[in-house]
């Protein structure tokens, strides 16, 4: 809550100093505002809190590494931005890293039916 108050104090002052404070209520603006407030703010924070409550914190933290590649993919689909081979390689590396952190480890007894522990 403190960060919201501090950011609001800073940016309200900035806005009144440099902006006209007039809003053009277009369909695109309203849709974008709804997306930013409801999905990216409220839903994302609720999902994050749910994941922290239900899972381990390192697994939740590892999901943050997917934000840049998923954003690049959305920009490619929505805004026709380039998604070159470097972006694809980065996406694959990030997704693989998150998979390795999130997946459940296999116990040695699950590797093969004839596995015998070394003494």
Residue 13 lies in domain: 1-54
Q: Report residue 51 as tokens.
A: 């994941």
Whether 1 and 42 share a structural domain? yes
Model-wide pTM > 0.95: no
Cβ contact 51:60 at 8 Å: yes
User: Which pLDDT tens digit goes with each residue over 24-45?
Assistant: 999 999 998 998 888 888 888 8
Whether 78 and 37 share a structural domain? no
Whether 37 and 65 share a structural domain? no
47: in domain: yes
Indicate the number of domains in the chain: 2
Q: What are phi and psi of 13, to 5 degrees?
A: -60, -45
| Mean of pLDDT values over 68-89 | 86
| Mean of pLDDT values over 77-105 | 86
99: in domain: yes
Q: For residue 68, what are the contacts with CB-CB under 8 A and spacing of at least 6?
A: 90, 94
Over its C-alpha atoms, the chain yields an Rg (Å, rounded) of 22
Whether 22 and 44 share a structural domain? yes
Residue 54: per-residue pLDDT: 82
Cβ contact 57:29 at 8 Å: no
Give pairs for 31-39: CB < 8 Å, separation 24+. Answer: none
Whether 29 and 73 share a structural domain? no
117: in domain: no
Whether 49 and 3 share a structural domain? yes
Whether 41 and 63 share a structural domain? no
């Amino acid at each position: 809550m403190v960060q919201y108050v501090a950011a609001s104090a800073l940016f309200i002052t900035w806005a009144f100093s440099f902006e006209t404070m007039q809003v053009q209520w277009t369909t695109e603006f309203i849709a974008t505002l709804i997306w930013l407030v409801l999905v990216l703010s409220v839903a994302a924070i609720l999902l994050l809190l749910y994941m922290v409550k239900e899972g381990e914190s390192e697994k939740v933290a590892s999901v943050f590494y997917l934000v840049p590649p998923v954003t690049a993919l959305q920009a490619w689909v929505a805004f026709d931005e380039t998604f070159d081979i470097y972006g694809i390689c980065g996406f694959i590396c990030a997704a693989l890293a998150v998979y390795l952190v999130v997946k459940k480890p296999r116990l040695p007894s699950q590797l093969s039916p004839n596995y015998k522990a070394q003494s």
